[in-house]
Structure 1
């Protein structure tokens, strides 16, 4: 039978720690995602980003914490709320933003848009618009790691709404049966497309969803990059030892609507403000840096200034890069294997 544990910084377990250099790096990476997403929201409002656009604001600690322990041969696959994952994988902000605006300089040549860009070089296999469809694919990537004996682990992300999709459980069964090296990351931001988890799931402890297949699950404070890092490290090590998959339920929160077209009237503004004031992942690291004497307000402002410059440059590139040529419609549609 699978075991479920709830990870917390209280009680007997010692709170995870980090060096000043690590904290600064986490702060920079999370702030880059936050500022990038804010700019993407502005460009969407200006009509420069077509289709859907799902922002990652509030959830930055999840992907930054997990990527901090990832190895070069590891792979990542996620859903349509994917810009933060791309940046955390080290993908060029210019190329990501240009992809959002459908330009030639985008990482998928303007053909993937917000939800469907890829970078095999960065180990990033999408961005997928069909709810839950990435989980069987991530399980397949994990099979590839095991087959090739490359020591890699796949991190397959999904939301709390996707957990209720049937293909997810087919993938769980195969991963457990073959002891595949896959960490299923459930980004539980409390709401699906306007529906709270309490109204959509009979069991709201999503870390237990693999119990029928013997997959261990852990609930993690997804607003703490340090707790995310520690949980991800343990899960990845288990996978690398050949012990099969792990489920990490990241208890997190999105500040914006499900997508840019969602006014999020299904929750009170006071609820959002309470989370922002008490649990913001960036403010958490900011406090650690200041309270620990590792950086002062002036230094933090300088970091923010430099990151805003990077994001501004990416927005300018996205608006000046030409649109793809019509001939691009016929490229990248077939690979001779």
Structure 2
């Protein structure tokens, strides 16, 4: 398949934005400028972007506790995200949601979710709505290898097949459910195959290969738009940081992270592929690096300078009246 320079530049820009955003969030968290917990997405950028480059603002995604990358890939405002994570006024959710609860319905981002396996059932609801209304829109749920063992996910997989829903299940297998290895906790050793047993097509791909993720998702999304039902995808990815920032990671082998950063970095692989094929130049990618660096610095500066939410906001957005 051929790719336009515009498509490739946008894909790289989004992946680079996620990487630099997460690195800055980690820095600000360690400096005490971010409350709560932070679960970084760096290392998994090719999955979020490979999936979301196939979607429109009307398509929806359901995310996880490790959701910053999904938000950025879906088009959420980076400055608003940083303010939200810092708990500041002007955040995407007025500073009330924080790192694990960012949502932006205008961009089809149903929300990050601190409940493991919480996204697939919610996305079933969105997919059922799209099918009922005949919009041809698609729902994509992101979840990890740990979530694949949850009963809510099993029920969502089955119901999506029964109702023939336009739902793409993306399982990001980064090898660990918190600190438990997937090779131990996933009995079959095959998340995609197990999901496929419910009666939907399934596929497994190298999650550091942006193009493999993009093509597999494109096929699944097109199938969903045609009314042919759900698909399950499993991306083999790497997590560069701990389950949360501050995790001592005693469950990982000595030198494991260093080797992963050297050999399994999706940004390095993307750059090598596009320059090696002559699709883009290093100069073009370096220019994006500079502009993204400036954007993330701007987001951090505005986040740090923003005020706390006014006390009058305490009781707003608690209930909704229809």
Quick one: distance in 2 between partners of 1:209 and 1:96?
35
Q: Which residue, 121, 139, 158 being the options, matches 1:173?
A: 158
Quick one: distance in 2 between partners of 1:292 and 1:241?
33
Range 267-276 or range 155-164, more displaced: 267-276
**Correspondence for 1:56:** 41
**Correspondence for 1:90:** 75
Range 247-256 or range 266-275, more displaced: 266-275
**Correspondence for 2:144:** 159
Quick one: distance in 1 between partners of 2:9 and 2:122?
34
Shift in Å at residue 18 of structure 1? 2.5
Alignment of 1:1-337 (within 5 A): 17-337=2-322
**Correspondence for 1:13:** none
Query: Is the 8 Å Cα contact of residues 73 and 151 (structure 1) preserved in structure 2?
Result: no
Quick one: distance in 1 between partners of 2:260 and 2:2?
23
Quick one: distance in 1 between partners of 2:45 and 2:56?
19
**Larger relative contact order (Cα-Cα within 8 Å, sequence gap ≥ 6):** 1
| Deviation readout 1:113-158 (Å, 9 max, x if unpaired) | 0000111100000101011112211111111111111110000110
Query: Is the 8 Å Cα contact of residues 157 and 187 (structure 1) preserved in structure 2?
Result: yes
Query: Is the 8 Å Cα contact of residues 60 and 108 (structure 2) preserved in structure 1?
Result: yes
Query: Is the 8 Å Cα contact of residues 57 and 106 (structure 2) preserved in structure 1?
Result: no
Shift in Å at residue 204 of structure 1? 1.4
Tell me the TM-score normalized by structure 2. Answer: 0.96
Shift in Å at residue 172 of structure 1? 1.3
Quick one: distance in 2 between partners of 1:212 and 1:227?
22
Aligned length: 322
Quick one: distance in 2 between partners of 1:302 and 1:179?
44
**Correspondence for 1:12:** none
Quick one: distance in 2 between partners of 1:328 and 1:26?
37
- Residue aligned with 1:115, SS: helix
Quick one: distance in 2 between partners of 1:65 and 1:300?
18
| Structure 1: runs of 5 or more not aligned | 1-15
Quick one: distance in 2 between partners of 1:84 and 1:78?
9
Query: Is the 8 Å Cα contact of residues 18 and 226 (structure 1) preserved in structure 2?
Result: no
RMSD, aligned CA:
1.4
Shift in Å at residue 17 of structure 1? 4.6
User: Where does structure 1 differ by over 4 angstroms across 4 or more consecutive aligned residues?
Assistant: none
Query: Is the 8 Å Cα contact of residues 88 and 308 (structure 2) preserved in structure 1?
Result: yes
Shift in Å at residue 269 of structure 1? 4.3
Shift in Å at residue 81 of structure 1? 0.5
Quick one: distance in 2 between partners of 1:269 and 1:100?
31
Shift in Å at residue 294 of structure 1? 4.4
Quick one: distance in 2 between partners of 1:113 and 1:91?
14
